Homo-oligomer: A and B are copies of this chain.
Amino acid sequence: MPKRIDHIAIIVRDIEQALVFYRDTLGIAPGEIQEVPTEHVRIAFLPMGGPGGSEIELIEPTAPDSSLAKFLEKRGEGLHHICLEVENIDAELADMREKGAQVLDKQPRIAAEGRAIFLHPKGTNGVLLELLEKS
């Protein structure tokens, strides 16, 4: 069972341009922009609510043929996924499978902050859902 919302991800064309609103207008101080070459993205977190607070993640696709770039092309900028933190991703994966959830991963993938699985929007009322065990 998920413990908390870890982050909500927004897909954008250009992180620096997005920060004009999120940092300069709204006033949230972002973390450093990180390159994640294995996932073909640049990301930046916008921390809120102190330690343990849920964050906004800005995601900018860096490879034009990646699935994220195609999502951006098709749907435009906007909300992309929610990430919920769980205690034990292996137990969660087994539980989701047993309950018939539509899991996109056969085994947990290595994400920036730990190990994660994704659930298909078809089984979650239209929401791409990440479950994450933080490392």
Q: Which residues of A contact B (CB under 8 A)?
A: 1-5, 8, 10-12, 17-18, 21-22, 24-28, 48-50, 52-56, 58, 76-79, 82, 84, 96, 99-101, 121, 123-127
For A17, the chain B residues whose CB sits under 8 A away are 125
Tell me how many chains of this kind the complex includes.
Answer: 2
Contact at A26–B1, with CB atoms within 8 Å? yes
Known pairs A17-B125, A21-B125, A77-B125. 6 more at Cβ < 8 A? A2-B27, A4-B50, A10-B127, A22-B124, A25-B100, A49-B52
Contact at B96–A53, with CB atoms within 8 Å? no
Q: Whole-angstrom distance between the alpha carbons of A19 and B110 in the complex?
A: 29
Contact at A125–B8, with CB atoms within 8 Å? no
For A101, the chain B residues whose CB sits under 8 A away are 21, 25
15 A-B residue pairs with CB within 8 Å: A2-B28, A3-B48, A3-B49, A4-B54, A5-B5, A5-B48, A5-B49, A8-B82, A10-B126, A10-B127, A11-B126, A12-B125, A21-B101, A25-B96, A77-B126
For A49, the chain B residues whose CB sits under 8 A away are 3-5, 52, 54
Q: Whole-angstrom distance between the alpha carbons of A97 and B11 in the complex?
A: 25
Contact at B78–A4, with CB atoms within 8 Å? no
For A79, the chain B residues whose CB sits under 8 A away are 78-79, 82, 126-127
